[in-house]
Amino acid sequence: MTHHFRSRWSLLVAVNAIVLGVLSFYRSSDAAPQANQPPFANAVEQRQEMIAVLKEIRDEMKAQTALLRTGAGKAAPAEQKR
């Protein structure tokens, strides 16, 4: 019975050592908010950035549409000849 008790005790000690080893890699200091950063994102800045990105996408789509229209105008007569 003592051999069985010792093996369980050794297993318990080994598991605790492994758990403590894994937990030693955990750093709780990174979870605290930084001193000069607000806890939440600034909604106004996010909105302005989104508007700028959408304007850029709109301009690129206008350019693409113009290219497609000029390309479609050239392709249409070629198809009519067939």
Q: What pLDDT was estimated at residue 33?
A: 61
Q: What pLDDT was estimated at residue 77?
A: 53
Reference 65, options 73, 77, 54, 76; nearest CA is: 73
pTM of the model: 0.42
CA distances from 48 to 5, 45, 52, 54 (A): 67, 5, 6, 10
CA distances from 49 to 3, 38, 44, 53, 54 (A): 68, 18, 9, 6, 9
Q: What pLDDT was estimated at residue 66?
A: 94
pLDDT digits (tens, 9 = 90+) for 12-54: 999 999 988 887 777 666 666 667 777 677 889 999 999 999 9
In sequence order, the 6+-apart residues with CB closer than 8 A to the CB of 33 are 39
Q: What pLDDT was estimated at residue 57?
A: 97
